[in-house]
A and B are shown apart, each in its own frame.
Chain A
Amino acid sequence: MNRPRLAVWKFSSCDGCQLTLLDCEDELLELAHRVDIAYFLEATRAHTEGPYDVSIVEGSITTSDDAERIRRVRAVSGKLVTIGACATAGGIQALRNAADIGDYLSAVYAAPEFISTLDRSTPISDHVDVDFELRGCPIDKGQLLELLSALLVGRRPDIARHSVCLDCKRAGNPCVMVATDTPCLGPVTQTGCGALCPSLDRGCFGCFGPAESVNMAAMVGQLRDRGLDDVGIHRLLNTFNTGAPAFGVES
C-alpha cells in the first residue's frame, strides 16, 4: 500500500506544536506505520522531496521569506493544515501588529539594522488556502490525533467550536467566575483543552482562540465585574491569540 506522504513545516513559532506530534508516544509507531514521514526536521534530518499528501504547518508569517516559502509549501501539498495559535492567528508575536515595529526592534536587538522583518505577524490563511486550522497554544494531542485520523480516512475532523464552558461543566467544575470571582475567558474561547485551567481553579487564558460565537462586549463587562481594570482586560485578551479579530476590544 502506498502510504500518504506527510510533511511538517515550521514558520515563526516556538516548536511546541510540532513537539505535540512527538509527544504522541503511544501512537507514534502507528502513525509512522500509516504515513511516510517525508519531511519533519524536528524529528529527522532525512527528508525526501515533494509533493506531499499532507502538510502540517506550524508558525506565523513574519518575514517576506516566510511569505514566499509558504506559497512553495502550498504548491507541493495536497492537504495543508495549520496547527497552533501562531499559524492560525499570528501568535504572541502578533503583539507587534498594534505597535510600531521599529520601537520593538530597537528595544530588543543591539543591532536592529541586521533584522529584516515584516511589520505584522499574520496567520497562514492570510497567505494561502488552508484546509483545516487546529487551534491552541500549544495544540491538544487528542485533537491532533483526531485531525490526523480524519485526514487519513478522508472524513471531516470532529473538532468542536463551542465555548470552553461546555467542557468545563461536563468535567463537573463549579464555575470559577461565579464561585470565586476569577476572571475567565472560557465563555468566549473555543474548547480543546478539556477546560484545563478552570479544572485547576484558574481562569481560562484563551489559548484556543475565539469560540464560534463571541459576545466580547458582554465578556468585557464580566471581566470588569470580576475586578479587572482596562489594563488587566487588555493583557488577558492580548496573548497568543492577540491577532484573532474576535479577541479585539474596542476601547
Chain B
Amino acid sequence: MATVPGCFVVTPSDLSALFGILDELGYRTLGPTVRDGAIVIGEISGISDLPIGITDEQGPGRYRLRDGVAGAWFGFAVGPQSARAHLSPPERPLLEIRSRGPTLEFVEPEHHTERTALFGIRPCDLAAMEVQDRVLARGPHPDPRYVAARDTTLVVVVNCGVPADTCFCPSTRTGPRARSGFDLSVTEVVDQTDHYFVLEPGSEAGVEIVERLEHRPADRAEVNAALATTEAAVEAISRSLPEQLNGRLLAAADHSRWDEVAARCLSCGNCTMVCPTCFCSDVRDTTDLAGDTATRVQVWDSCFTLGHSHLHGGSVRADTRSRYRQWLTHKLDTWWDQFGQSGCVGCGRCITWCPPGIDLTVEAAAIVGGG
C-alpha cells in the first residue's frame, strides 16, 4: 500500500526511546504522570512514569482514575494542569532592590530558560498556548520570561482518542486533533490486534527526533486508523459551547441567570487557576525584617479575588455575581474584542475542577439562549 508523506509509524517499544533522545538533545521532559489521584504534569524520564493503562472519568466537580485499555499510553484526557505552569510559573521573583549605604542596587533574578519538552500535551493545550502567545508574547508588551520559556519549549502533542465527558473542543475548533504549532504530533492506535503510534513532525526538531527513532513510513491504512481515533473522539463528545458569543454575553449583563450561578459559586477561583488561557497575575512588594531589601514577586491571581478589582476605595466587583460574570464575559465574549479570538479552548477543566461543578457551557447557553 502507498505510504503517506510526512507520517511515520513507531512501535511502543521504539517510542520508549524518545525519552533518552530528548535527554540527549538537552531537554528535560514534562509529561503526564499520576499523583494524588489525578494525572498531573510532572518531570518524567521514561515510560514507567506514564499513566499506562489508566483512564480518567470526569464530570462536573468530579474526577476519578480508573483502569483503562490495557497497555494504552494515552487513554485519558486532560488533568488539572496545562502548559501554563511551565510557561508562567505560579510564583516568579521579578526584582530585588537592596539598599547599600546611600545607593540602591537593583537586581533582576535570572530568567529560567531550561530547555523543556512538553510531552503528551493535548491539542486544546496547544491551542491555549497560542491564545496565551497573543497576550504574553505577541502583544504590545511581551513578557520576556514567558517568551524565553516559550522559545525553549519543544511540543510533542498527543491527539485525543479518549475524551472526557467534560471536553468540548470540537465546538471551539481546538481539537481533538492538532493541526499546527507542534514539533511532533502523536496519535496512538490501540486495539485487540495492533498497538502503534503515527507520528507527524511539525518542525525541524520534530524531523530530527523521528530520524533518531526506529520508524517506517506510514501507509494509508495506518494513517486512516489514526484519523479514525480522533473522529471517534468527536463522536463521543456531547458537550458544546454556543458559537459566536462575541457581544452576546455582555449584552445579557442583567440576565437573572447570573444571580442563579452566583448562588452556587464559592468564589474559590479554582476555575481560573486550572484554565490554560487565564493569565492574570498580581505583583507583590515586600521588605525584609532588616528593612534593607525589597522584593517584588509575580503570582497567579484570579478575577474571583476582591483584590483583583480593588481600585481606590474598594473592590469594584464586590459580589460573586459580578465576579462570575467578569470571568465568563471576558473568557467567552470580550476576549474577541481584545485578542480577536475566544479565550476558551474547550478543555473542560473549569467544569471538572469547580467543586460545585458549575458548567460554563450550560451557563453560556442559558444566558444567550434567554433560558
A interface residues (Cβ-Cβ under 8 A, vs B): 27, 30-31, 34, 145-146, 148-150, 152-153, 155, 158, 160-163, 165-166, 169-180, 184, 186-188, 201, 212-213, 215, 217-219, 221-222, 225
Inter-chain contact B305/A34, CB cutoff 8 Å = no
At the interface, yes or no: B194 with Cβ under 8 Å from chain A?
no
User: Known: A162-B302, A165-B269, A166-B300. Is A178-B62 also a contact (CB below 8 A)?
Assistant: yes
Most chain A CB inside 10 Å of its own CB: which residue of B264, B268, B306: B268
Chain A min CB distance to B269 (Å): 5
Pick the contact of B291: A27, A153, A180 (CB < 8 A): A153
Offer 21 A-B interface pairs, CB within 8 angstroms, sorted by A. Answer: A145-B289, A152-B289, A161-B306, A162-B269, A162-B307, A169-B80, A169-B273, A174-B35, A174-B63, A175-B63, A178-B61, A179-B36, A179-B38, A179-B64, A187-B266, A188-B266, A213-B267, A215-B265, A215-B266, A219-B266, A221-B356
Nearest chain-B residue to A165 (Cβ)?
Answer: B268
At the interface, yes or no: B353 with Cβ under 8 Å from chain A?
yes
Most chain B CB inside 10 Å of its own CB: which residue of A174, A176, A186: A174
Chain A min CB distance to B323 (Å): 8
Inter-chain contact A222/B286, CB cutoff 8 Å = no
A213 to B305, CA, bound (A): 8
A181 to B51, CA, bound (A): 22
Inter-chain contact A174/B289, CB cutoff 8 Å = no
Chain A min CB distance to B35 (Å): 7
Inter-chain contact A222/B63, CB cutoff 8 Å = no
A218 to B63, CA, bound (A): 20
Nearest chain-B residue to A34 (Cβ)?
Answer: B289
A201 to B38, CA, bound (A): 12
Inter-chain contact A30/B80, CB cutoff 8 Å = no
Nearest chain-B residue to A162 (Cβ)?
Answer: B305
Nearest chain-A residue to B42 (Cβ)?
Answer: A172
For the A-B complex with A166-B302, A170-B90, A222-B356 known, give 18 more contacts whose Cβ atoms are closer than 8 Å: A30-B289, A30-B290, A145-B289, A148-B289, A149-B289, A152-B291, A153-B291, A160-B305, A162-B302, A166-B269, A169-B274, A170-B91, A174-B35, A175-B353, A176-B36, A178-B353, A180-B37, A187-B266
Residues of B with C-beta under 8 A to A30: 289-290
A158 to B295, CA, bound (A): 12
At the interface, yes or no: B110 with Cβ under 8 Å from chain A?
no
Residues of B with C-beta under 8 A to A162: 269, 302, 304-307
Residues of A with C-beta under 8 A to B38: 174, 179
Residues of B with C-beta under 8 A to A153: 287, 291
A-B contact count (CB 8 A): 130
Nearest chain-A residue to B269 (Cβ)?
Answer: A166
A150 to B285, CA, bound (A): 11
A180 to B35, CA, bound (A): 12
Nearest chain-B residue to A213 (Cβ)?
Answer: B267
Q: Which positions 290-319 of chain B face chain A at CB distance < 8 Å? A: 290-291, 299-300, 302, 304-307
Chain B min CB distance to A67 (Å): 32
Pick the contact of A172: B40, B62, B263 (CB < 8 A): B40
Pick the contact of B273: A148, A170, A221 (CB < 8 A): A170
Chain A min CB distance to B169 (Å): 21
Pick the contact of A149: B265, B269, B286, B355 (CB < 8 A): B286
Chain A min CB distance to B223 (Å): 35
At the interface, yes or no: B81 with Cβ under 8 Å from chain A?
yes
User: Known: A148-B289, A158-B285, A174-B35. Is A212-B306 also a contact (CB below 8 A)?
Assistant: yes
Inter-chain contact A165/B40, CB cutoff 8 Å = no
Residues of B with C-beta under 8 A to A174: 35-38, 40, 63, 79-80
User: Known: A166-B300, A218-B356. Is A27-B270 also a contact (CB below 8 A)?
Assistant: no
A222 to B307, CA, bound (A): 25
Chain B 28-62 per-residue mask, 1 if CB under 8 angstroms from chain A, else 0: 00000001111010000000000000000000011
User: Known: A153-B291, A173-B36, A178-B353. Is A218-B302 also a contact (CB below 8 A)?
Assistant: no
A171 to B305, CA, bound (A): 18
Inter-chain contact A172/B81, CB cutoff 8 Å = yes
A150 to B295, CA, bound (A): 13
A68 to B156, CA, bound (A): 68
Inter-chain contact B306/A213, CB cutoff 8 Å = yes
Q: Which positions 150-166 of chain B face chain A at CB distance < 8 Å? A: none
Chain B min CB distance to A225 (Å): 8
Inter-chain contact A212/B80, CB cutoff 8 Å = no
Chain A min CB distance to B216 (Å): 39
User: Known: A152-B289, A158-B284. Is A163-B307 also a contact (CB below 8 A)?
Assistant: no
Pick the contact of B355: A146, A170, A175 (CB < 8 A): A175
Inter-chain contact B81/A177, CB cutoff 8 Å = no
At the interface, yes or no: B236 with Cβ under 8 Å from chain A?
no
A187 to B79, CA, bound (A): 20
Residues of B with C-beta under 8 A to A166: 268-269, 273, 300, 302, 305
User: Known: A166-B273, A188-B266. Is A34-B62 also a contact (CB below 8 A)?
Assistant: no
Inter-chain contact A186/B35, CB cutoff 8 Å = no
